[in-house]
Amino acid sequence: MSKTEQATAPRRKGSQTRGEIQQAALSLFTERGYDATSMREIAEQIGITKAALYYHFDSKEAIILSLFQDNMRALDDLLDWAAGQALTPELSSEFLGRWIALSGGRGLRVMRFAAANHATLRKVMPLRDGGPLERIGRATQLLLGPDAPLTDRLRVRMALLSVHNAVLAAQGTEATDDDILAIATQAATLLVGDLFPAPRLPVPE
C-alpha cells in the first residue's frame, strides 16, 4: 500500500488492527515459515507502519503467544458458561459442538501452524500448568460429572481432542479446513457413542 493509499484509507480501530496483524502473521508464517518472516513484512501485508505494528506487538513471539491466549480465553468462556448449567445429555452435546466450532476458522489455522512448528512453540510457549490439557480435564468433568469411569473420561477427552488429531492426520494431504472439521465431528460422535447425543455445532449467524 502506498503512502497516498495509507493516508486516504479508513482509520482502523485498535482491536481491528490487532486482529489483522494476527491474521497476516499467521498467513505469512504458514506460507513462508516463521523464521523467514520479518516484522516489516507483517506490517507491509496489511499496510501499516512498523511503528504501528510495534504499538500492538513487540515481536513475532508476542503475536504467536497472543493467538494462543485468545484461544484459551475463548475456551475459558465456554467452560464458564457450561459450569453455570445443569448437567444433562443435551448440555454435553451442545458443549462438545461449541468446543469443536471454536476450533474452526482462525483456531484451525493456529492448530495447523502448531503442528508444523513444534520447535518454535517450545521456545515461545514453554510448558506450564493451565494449558489446553488442563482445560480438557475441566471440560471432561463438566460433561460427565466427578465420578465417571476412566474409560468414559478417556473417550470424552479423545473427543475433545478430535480437531487437534484431525489436523495432525491431515498433514501432507489435500484436506481443507471444512474436511478437517467434518471428520473431527464424526470422530467425536463415534467416541461419545452412548454417553450423550452427537455434538451439535452452533448454526452460523
Q: Provide the grid cell at 84.
A: 453455570
- The answer to whether 197 and 95 have CB atoms below 8 angstroms apart is no
The residue-averaged pLDDT of 25-30 equals 88
Q: Is the pLDDT of residue 27 over 70?
A: yes
Closest CA to 195 of 83, 94, 92, 86: 92
pTM: 0.81
pLDDT-above-90 percentage for the chain: 58
Dig out the grid coordinates for 187 from the structure: 470422530
Could you tell me where the DSSP H helices lie in 33-59? 39-46, 50-56
Looking at residue 10, what is its pLDDT?
A: 47
Task: Tell me what the pLDDT averaged over the chain comes to.
Answer: 86
- pLDDT of 203 reads 65
Cβ burial of 8 (10 Å; 0-12, 13-18, 19+) is exposed
How would residue 1 be classed by pLDDT, with cut points 50, 70 and 90? very low
Alpha-carbon distance of 57 to 46, in angstroms, equals 14
Q: Cα–Cα distance between 187 and 90 in angstroms, integer? A: 18
Q: What is the pLDDT of residues 121-170, one digit of tens each?
A: 777 776 555 688 899 999 999 999 889 999 999 999 999 999 999 998 99
Instruction: State residue 139 phi and psi, 5-degree precision.
Output: -65, -40
Q: Residues 91, 94, 100, 104: is their CA dihedral positive or negative?
A: negative
pLDDT tens profile 163-204: 999 998 998 899 998 999 999 999 999 999 999 999 887 766
pLDDT value of position 11: 52
Q: What is the pLDDT of residue 8?
A: 42
Burial of 80 (0-12, 13-18, 19+ CB in 10 A): exposed
